Amino acid sequence: GNSVTQMEGPVTLSEEAFLTINCTYTATGYPSLFWYVQYPGEGLQLLLKATKADDKGSNKGFEATYRKETTSFHLEKGSVQVSDSAVYFCALSGGTSYGKLTFGQGTILTVHP
Amino acid sequence: NAGVTQTPKFRILKIGQSMTLQCTQDMNHNYMYWYRQDPGMGLKLIYYSVGAGITDKGEVPNGYNVSRSTTEDFPLRLELAAPSQTSVYFCASSPSGTSVAEELFFGEGSRLTVL
């Protein structure tokens, strides 16, 4: 079945540091890949997505590239801000599983001034 | 711009008690979902619905029931609460469910503790 593995957290960075959160997946067929973010006290919201190999999703300075050869979808940002402190979830949707996302365990990011 | 609203936000239950988590969306979405999130784990799908009157099991349905009498509401019922149901519960919705790339819209979560 489908599965998503994220890097262990929590991740603590200083403001303006470079961020990478690793995500690898196992899926049959050609899944769509997502990053969702959960800010403190809020629900999850979509950060970015990619629907086919070599697609790059981007939003709010974050980027992730769909790498089929390495089954990865790593999240990156060149310069993090305190306001980026949140929990980040990698997820996939595949086959006929419309909306039935498979999530990674989440990575807590804390950014200090 | 309410979106997906869940109540209550926090609840403590005793073993064997029953309760209902309420979920309402005002976006006229067809698909609705209930997920649970345990510490250090990803979200797991409990139940989902593709429209009023239609529900189906997800990955971890045991101990839960749902109903979908209207497009807007999708309550989750726990009949005999057990400590294993201590978790954070998220309700979500999506417009049509016809695309694997469709965005899900989540509520803020309901934290349930069973003692």
| Residue-wise pLDDT tens digits, A24-60 | 999 887 889 999 999 988 889 999 999 999 999 999 9
Q: How confident is the model at residue B14 (pLDDT cuts 50, 70, 90)?
A: very high
pLDDT at position A97 over 80: no
Check B101 against A31: CB less than 8 A apart.
no
pLDDT of residue A42: 86
**Cα-Cα-Cα-Cα dihedral of B67, B72, B73, B74, to 10°?**
60
**Mean pLDDT value of segment B4-15:** 96
For A:62-101, CB contacts with B below 8 A are 89, 91, 93-95, 97-101
The predicted pLDDT at position A15 comes to 97
pLDDT of residue A45: 94
The whole-angstrom separation of Cα B105 and Cα A92 is 15
pLDDT band at A2 (very low <50, low <70, confident <90, very high): confident
Residue whose entry in the numeric block shows the structure tokens 């310069």: A79
Q: Is A42 on the interface with B (CB under 8 A)?
A: yes
Inter-chain contacts counted by CB atoms under 8 A, chains A and B: 69
Confidence at residue B97, expressed as pLDDT on a 0 to 100 scale: 66
Query: Which residues from chain B sit within 8 angstroms of residue A91, using beta carbons?
Result: 42
Exposure on the CB side of residue A8, measured as CA atoms within 13 A = 0
Does B101 sit within 8 Å of A32, measured CB to CB? yes
C-beta separation of A22 from A9 below 8 A? no
Q: In a mutagenesis test of the A interface, which of B6, B9, B43, B45 is the best target, namely the one with the most A β-carbons within 10 Å? A: B43
Say whether residue A106 is in contact with chain B using an 8 A CB cutoff.
yes
Share of chain B above pLDDT 70, in %: 96
**Interacting residues of B109 by C-beta distance below 8 A, sequence separation 6+:** A43, B6, B9, B37, B88, B89, B90
B46 or A93: which leads in pLDDT = B46
More confident call, B61 vs B97: B61
pLDDT tens readout for residues B68-100: 999 999 999 998 999 999 999 999 999 876 666
Average pLDDT of every residue of chain A: 92
- pLDDT for res A7: 83
Average pLDDT over residues B10-24: 96
